[in-house]
């Protein structure tokens, strides 16, 4: 796909690792929000391709 050409998109494993982290924090810790984006994506429309 040309959409992903030159970038490394997140995978299901990346998201699963993030969910595991959130579920593994101590019970006194609350994660209220989490935004996960690839490092080469500044916003939903701005992407740095290599």
* Token code pair at residue 14: 């990346």
Both structure tokens of 23: 């579920």
Read out DSSP for the chain?
Answer: -GGGTTS----HHHHHHHHHHHHHS-TT----------TTBSSSS-B---
Domain boundaries, the chain: 1-50
Half-sphere exposure of 43 (CA within 13 A, CB side): 2
Residues of the chain with pLDDT under 70: 1, 41-46
| pLDDT, mean over the chain | 86
User: Residue 48: its pLDDT value, please?
Assistant: 72
pTM of the model: 0.68
**So what's the pLDDT on residue 1?**
65
Please tell me the predicted confidence (pLDDT) of residue 7: 80
The residue whose two tokens read 């101590």 is 26
């Amino acid at each position: 796909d040309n959409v992903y050409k030159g970038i490394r998109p997140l995978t299901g494993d990346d998201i699963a690792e993030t969910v595991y982290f959130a579920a593994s924090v101590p019970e006194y810790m609350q994660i209220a929000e989490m935004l996960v984006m690839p490092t080469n994506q500044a916003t939903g429309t701005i992407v740095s391709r290599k």
